[in-house]
Amino acid sequence: MCGIIGYTGWREAYPVILKGLKRLEYRGYDSAGVALQNGNLKVYKKAGKVAELENNVIGKDVHSYIGIGHTRWATHGEPCDRNAHPHLSQSGELAMIHNGIIENYVQLKQELVKKGYTFKSDTDTEVLLNFIEEVKKESGCLLEEAVRIALRRVVGAYCILLIHRDDPETIIAARKGSPLVIGIGKGEHFLASDASPIIEYTKEVVYVNDYEIAIVKPDELVLKNLGNDKQTPFITKLNMELAAIEKGGYEHFMLKEIFEQPNTIYDCLRGRLDANVPNIVMSGIDKYAQQIMNAPRIIIVACGTSWHAGLIAEYIIEETCRIPVEVEYASEFRYRNPVVNKGDVIIAVSQSGETADTLVAIENAKEKGAIILGIVNVVGSSIARVSHAGAYTHAGPEIGVASTKAFTAQLAVLTMVALKIGHAKGSLSIERFQALCKELADIPEKVELVLQQNEAIKALAKKYKDARDFLYLGRGYNFPVALEGALKLKEITYIHAEGYAAAEMKHGPIALVDENLPVVFVATKDAYHEKIVSNMQEIKARKGKIIAIITEGDAVIPTLADDVIAVPAADEIVAPMLSVIPLQLLAYYIGIAKDLDVDKPRNLAKSVTVE
């Protein structure tokens, strides 16, 4: 969840690290810090966002050609100066930053306390750092060897970067379960949690694998495994532009990413969907198409917004492919000893491709003989590498913590997979396949039309910004959209919101309804339309305030609702990619009306790489 960056080379390290921390801040913003080496180790760190660190460092000596930096999402220990990274070892010889959780840190700490170590923080990171120092001291080995020995004792997830007081060139890095990418420059190297701080300087990168240690100098990169065997670095070219991680004139990344969706969905479909033939080409799926068609069941594992995309995909796949589908929270699936058989297909959905629970879940399923398909956004990510096959969503970097464009891109990919398999299997007629391909191809243009209602949604947000609670309701394909709308409101505005299946509202949530409760109905025209109108009447009879997302031309719902937002007509299978847009904008503008930091909501981070 935390953001890490390191630099060694010919440039001044601090400006590179500070800029990188700002680009990584979406991964955590409880505190930030840097460690620089210039004849000694200088550590500057501060609770709060990166701007607090920047202000704190003004006027201080930051001259150095090597350094490491960290922006934190707190796990062990409250957000405060002393728990901020980097940490210094007890001797002051080593500085380290860490992303992840060391599960056996208590045992290690007890061993170190018996040997006379004291601790200045509450973090598991300081424990690991001093454990590495103790191994180095006892064995008299090089730092890289001490790291290798220490990590063989560690239980948990980590990505660590270390520098030594007496070494002005070398960064030692290692990872397991938390991402690390190394950028290769001329006489310089960059290390980071993801590529966003690197692309300004180089597009050649190496993705470090689990259980690998990197010894990084300005002119040298050595990779080893925990058995001390050298590994061959595989250099990848980044397909990313600097403009993609900048705001581009928008006030916030979240708004930019909402408005990018016509392009991101188009990019997702481009080269894959030909609605005129019709045909869907997905090379990552073709190889396993026969196994998918014959699969006894499909299990979709995901977390958060990606789980909601999976719920919609369940409806689509069962409708078009006639294959049973289960949708699982990865965090539950990995622990409850699920029944997974050879031939089952597991679809892992993740924006970052690094979600810890999802990664472990598919590794476990893979061991049991399941076929793993990864639907991820980040090229070279861990889930992409663990999967047998899959598809990238091509949504581009998503910097806003609350996922928007990644969600619709996931839906686009999952819909194409379903249509492709349903057509190949014969469970989807050629006429229906052709019609749905055309519907899918039209989505980017229709999203443009929805976005034109931006000002009307902004006005609606001001009207409801002081509400204490919201209820989101939907049926069929729109039920998961209601869940996603409620999640966005909670994430961005800190207003309590609950998503529910509209028909189930009579079994409890209707008790919440009074004249102060806004009820958002996702009610585009589909097979459930008459039923959801009846649900609205039940809310209306109890004086609830109704906000409805409807299909253009609907003459019935506007007579019941207090406020309506209309989206273009679309087949119910693809309609969620339209009906979710007003809910994203509503959450964004309520957050703005409440003067909140919508790009960095409290307590959240973008990529959940810890349990």
Start-end of CATH 3.40.50.10490 domains in the chain: 247-441, 449-601
Concatenate the DSSP letters of all residues of 405-418 into one string: HHHHHHHHHHHHHH
- The CATH number for 3-243, chosen from 3.30.460.10, 3.90.190.20, 3.40.50.2020, 3.60.20.10, is 3.60.20.10
Structural tokens at position 83: 């728990």
Among 565, 563, 557, residue whose Cα is nearest residue 584:
565
At 145 the pLDDT is: 94
Q: Residues 454-479, buried b or exposed e (16+ Cβ, 10 A)?
A: beebbebbeebbebeebbbbbbbbbb
At 607 the pLDDT is: 56
Q: Using CA atoms, how far apart are residues 595 and 598, in angstroms rounded to an integer?
A: 9
Determine phi and psi for 494, rounding to 5 degrees.
65, 20
Q: What distances in angstroms separate CA 202 from CA 185, 196, 414, one per listed residue?
A: 6, 11, 33
Q: Residues 346-369, buried b or exposed e (16+ Cβ, 10 A)?
A: bbbbbbbbbbbbbbbbbbbbbeee
Q: What is the pLDDT of residues 305-352, one digit of tens each?
A: 999 999 999 999 999 999 999 999 988 887 888 888 898 999 999 988
Among 439, 406, 394, 441, residue whose Cα is nearest residue 309:
406
* Bridge-based pairing state of the strands 156-164 and 171-176: antiparallel
Least confident range of 31-45, 374-388, 454-468, 470-484: 374-388
Concatenate the DSSP letters of all residues of 460-524 into one string: HHHHHTT-SEEEEEE-TTHHHHHHHHHHHHHHHH--EEEEEEGGGGGGTGGGG-STT-EEEEE--
Say which CATH superfamily domain 247-441 falls into.
Glucose-6-phosphate isomerase like protein; domain 1 (3.40.50.10490)
For residues 412-434, give the mean pLDDT.
96
Residue identified by tokens 């629970």 is: 357
The three-state (H, E, C) secondary structure of 24-38, written as one string: HHHHCCCEEEEEEEC
Burial class for 250, CB neighbours closer than 10 Å (0-12, 13-18, 19+): middle
Per-residue pLDDT band for 610 (boundaries 50, 70, 90) equals very low
Q: What is the pLDDT of residues 15-39, one digit of tens each?
A: 999 999 988 887 777 889 999 999 8
For residues 389-394, give the mean pLDDT.
90
Contacts of 238 (CB under 8 A, 6+ apart): 195, 198, 199, 203, 204, 205
Q: What distances in angstroms separate CA 513 from CA 468, 494, 533, 555, 560, one per listed residue?
A: 12, 20, 17, 25, 16
Concatenate the DSSP letters of all residues of 170-212 into one string: -EEEEEEBS--EEEE-SS-EEEESSSTTTTTT-SEEEEPPTTE
Check whether 268 has a pLDDT greater than 90. Answer: yes
Active site residues: 2, 606
Q: Using CA atoms, how far apart are residues 192 and 182, in angstroms rounded to an integer?
A: 7
Among 533, 540, 607, 71, residue whose Cα is nearest residue 382:
607
Residue 298 bridge partners (DSSP): 325, 345
Q: What is the pLDDT of residues 90-123, one digit of tens each?
A: 999 999 999 888 888 899 999 999 999 999 998 8
pTM above 0.85, yes or no: no
Cis peptide before 86 (omega within 30 of 0): yes
Please tell me whether residue 325 adopts helix, strand or coil conformation. Answer: strand
Check whether 240 has a pLDDT greater than 90. Answer: no
Q: What is the pLDDT of residues 141-177, one digit of tens each?
A: 999 999 999 999 988 888 999 999 999 999 999 998 8
Start-end of CATH 3.60.20.10 domains in the chain: 3-243
Q: Which residue has the higher pLDDT, 505 or 302?
A: 302
5 touches 17 (CB < 8 A)? yes
Q: What is the pLDDT of residues 567-579, one digit of tens each?
A: 999 999 999 999 9
- pLDDT, averaged across the chain: 91
Contacts of 511 (CB under 8 A, 6+ apart): none
For residues 245-254, give the mean pLDDT.
83
Amino acid at position 6, single letter: G
Check whether 605 has a pLDDT greater than 70. Answer: no
Q: Using CA atoms, how far apart are residues 504 and 474, in angstroms rounded to an integer?
A: 10
Contacts of 298 (CB under 8 A, 6+ apart): 292, 317, 323, 324, 325, 326, 344, 345, 346, 347
Q: Using CA atoms, how far apart are residues 105 and 98, in angstroms rounded to an integer?
A: 13
Check whether 609 has a pLDDT greater than 70. Answer: no
Determine phi and psi for 383, rounding to 5 degrees.
-65, -40
Q: Using CA atoms, how far apart are residues 28 and 13, in angstroms rounded to an integer?
A: 21
At 262 the pLDDT is: 96
Check whether 510 has a pLDDT greater than 60. Answer: yes
- Torsion on CA atoms 566, 570, 576, 580, rounded to nearest 10: -30
Class of the CATH-defined domain 449-601: alpha beta
